[in-house]
Amino acid sequence: MEYTVQKLGKLAGISTRTLRYYDEIGILKPARINSSGYRIYGQKEVDRLQQILFYRELGVSLKNIKDIILSPSFDRVEALKQHHIRLLEKKKQLETLIINVEKSIAMSEGRVKMSDQEKFEGFKQKLIDENEEKYGKEVREKYGDEVVDKSNAHLKNMSKEDYERIQTLSVQIDEALTEAFKTGDPAGSMGQKVAELHKQWISLCWGHYNKEAHAGVAQMYVDDERFTLYYDKEQPGRAEFLRDAILIYTGMSK
């Protein structure tokens, strides 16, 4: 497939000026120029533009993006995996900010108190962005590990496999819950599958398992707003669904 400036711009959601600018600074040159002087982009350019936008989204300057993707040692897949990690971090920060705004509302309504410090939680992604600017390859390798280390901080007493298993389970629970929620039946096979996954997750976290505690935690998913907020983010009612599924699973449903 071949694209002119406007077509590629529409595809990627950017302006034609931006594409011309990217040509000008040499970060994304068209595959060829046709007889009338028009810029024509091909497959390779589409993929490169996607890479550029990923870096841009993460706050990397165009100058640094250029250095990175023009580097002979640039590894596309490795870069994508880095993007993945960074985007997850960004998501966490956004979640912090969402909690912040929720608390701020509660404060305005006099329901809770907030320290000045709390009022700015979730804004400081700047620090991350500034790190991003240093994104040289060596730096990347260096910080890459550090980030991993940091996120593994509370792993201390856990084997690496267990930790990874827990991470995988979290994602699986989330996905399975989304699917099961559509059925509307917490007692159904999909609902019970979620509960089963959740049991595995809890067993790993606690090192043991206990029905009553499991049921207690499930109830908390509805009662504790920090959980409710998280689970209801996409579809209101997900937290309740999860609780019901677990209560049925543990036989604690009355």
Partner DNA sequence: GTTACACCTTTACGTAACGTCAATGTCAAC
Partner DNA sequence: GTTGACATTGACGTTACGTAAAGGTGTAAC
Question: What part of residues 48-77 is at the interface with DNA (CB under 7 A)?
Answer: 56, 61-63
Residue 169 neighbours by CB distance under 10 Å: 20
Which residue, 62 or 79, has its beta carbon nearer to DNA? Answer: 62
Question: Does the footprint of DNA cover residue 131 (CB under 7 A)?
Answer: no
**Which residues inside 198-217 make contact with a copy of itself, applying CB under 8 A?**
202, 205-206, 210, 212-217
59/211 Cα distance (integer angstroms): 46
Stretch of 20-28, 31-39, 74-82, 191-199 contacting a copy of itself, by CB under 8 A: 74-82
To the nearest whole angstrom, how small is the minimum distance from the Cβ of residue 124 to a copy of itself?
4
Tokens of 169: 């389970």
* Binder of DNA out of 13, 36, 72, 110 (CB under 7 A): 36
90 near a copy of itself (CB under 8 A): yes
Q: Which amino acid is at 181?
A: F
Residue with tokens 């809890």: 202
Can you tell me which residue has the tokens 């305005």? 108
Q: Does 20 bind DNA (CB under 7 A)?
A: yes
CB nearer a copy of itself, residue 82 or residue 191: 82
Residue for token pair 């009022």: 119
d(CA 187, CA 236): 19
Binding partner at 152 among DNA, a copy of itself, none, C-beta below 5 to 8 Å by kind? none
- How far does CA 17 lie from the centroid of its chain? 30
Residue type, 191: G
Q: What is the DSSP letter of 3?
A: B
Which tokens hold the place of 35?
């007889």
Residue that has been written with the tokens 């939680």 in this structure: 121
User: How big is the site for a copy of itself, counted in residues (CB under 8 A)?
Assistant: 82
**Taking the mean position of all CA atoms in its chain, how far away is CA 245?**
26
Q: Any contact of residue 92 with a copy of itself (CB under 8 A)?
A: yes
Among 25, 33, 70, 88, binds a copy of itself (CB under 8 A): 88
Task: Judge contact between 51 and 79, C-beta under 8 A.
Answer: yes
- Say which entry of a copy of itself, DNA, none residue 97 contacts (CB below 5 to 8 A, set by partner kind): a copy of itself
Q: Which of residues 9-38 bind a copy of itself (CB under 8 A)?
A: 11-14
Q: Which of 2, 23, 67, 121 binds a copy of itself (CB under 8 A)?
A: 121
Structure tokens at 117: 């410090």
- Contact residues toward DNA (CB under 7 A) are 4-7, 14-18, 20-21, 34-39, 56, 61-63
